[in-house]
Amino acid sequence: MTVAPARPSGRASIMAMNTANTATVTIEGQPVASGQQPPSLFYSGVDSTYFQTMRVPLLRGREFTESDNETAPSVAIVNQTMADRFWPHQDPLGRRFSMKADTDLAKTVQIVGVAGNGKYLFVAEDPTPFVYVPLAQNYNSMRTLQVRSFVPPETLLAPMQAQVHQLAPDLPITEAKTMKLAIEDGLWIFRLGAGVAAAMGAIGLILAVVGIYGIVSFSTAQRTREIGIRMALGGSAGDVMRMILQQSVGMVIIGLVVGLLAALGITRLMTQLLIGVSPIDPLTYLAVAGLLSVVALAACWIPARRATRVDPMVALRYE
């Protein structure tokens, strides 16, 4: 049982569906080659208000109606991916195929509609074929009741459970939550991964700052005598500061360029793990590059600042 908020211009709606099941399909007019198994895909039984409640767009054909019952011919609605895979450049409406679940006899259905693609098992999954069948023609004791309402969804959970218990006292309710919470429960692995990645990024940033600071400090210490000579010959503290920062900035720029190129390459491999985020986001790259530049320059500035305070006479005697 899940509850989601409704749009102000819409009306409250309720739908029922059973859980996703798998079935092997045989497409009429497309025999399976010898030695091969028929394709297997997911399907779900839904009622006549499912597409309206879940805001699944119907691209062609019609939705299910109350007349699609046990006495009517078996029908189905396929998603766009299934239509493109089995009937490319053709109109799938009116096409027929048979479905066979593990414990059911094969049943031939006729396509009456094509729905938009969705995410059925995993938010990062590739577009996959999916079939919707009328709930009245495909009995399953496990049902999911989904409600879209104008009021805050969490306020409906208790009244809905009470109403179900009143109508069917022996009917168990295994879970009741808002749609937002249901989606968040499915994203915990991404949140965990993001937390681990953030921690590793923070550790990497600390190591990078320490490394830059150490390299610039060591390089500056090696040039103590040179800095003393420059200052003894009239060089100012500003000249010494610019000299050290110019060399340090070059190292930072090289590191940023290499890092950005590596990030562009790696994010292309992680496209499926990025939910609602573009793998190439200029603002994100600019913000991260700016932050790293500021931190790196601060690590360079400290030893450069220390070098400007060197006493020329002490520096000339430095070995």
Please indicate, yes or no, whether residues 40 and 160 belong to a single structural domain of this protein.
Answer: yes
The answer to whether residues 43 and 157 belong to one domain is yes
Q: Does some domain include residue 252? A: yes
CA gap 196, 199 in Å, rounded = 5
Tell me if 78 is assigned to some domain. Answer: yes
Q: Which of 94, 99, 90, 174 is closest to 132 using CA atoms?
A: 99
pTM of the model: 0.65
Q: Which domain holds residue 14?
A: 2-177
State whether 166 and 34 are in the same domain: yes
Q: How many domains does the chain have?
A: 2
The first and second tokens of residue 256, run together, are: 């940023």
CB 114 within 8 A of CB 77: yes
pLDDT in tens, the chain (319 residues): 555 565 443 444 455 555 668 888 999 888 888 778 888 899 988 988 889 888 899 999 999 998 998 889 999 999 999 999 999 999 999 999 998 876 666 789 999 999 999 888 777 778 899 999 998 888 777 788 888 888 888 888 888 888 888 888 888 888 888 888 877 777 777 778 778 878 888 888 788 778 877 877 777 766 666 766 766 667 677 777 777 777 777 777 887 788 878 877 777 666 656 665 666 777 877 887 787 777 777 777 777 777 676 665 655 555 5
Q: Where are the beta strands (DSSP E) in the chain?
A: 2-5, 13-18, 21-27, 40-46, 58-61, 75-79, 96-100, 107-115, 130-134, 143-149, 177-178
Out of 141, 157, 177, a domain closes at 177
Residue 244 · residue 220 · CB < 8 Å: yes
Q: Tell whether 44 and 66 lie within a shared domain.
A: yes
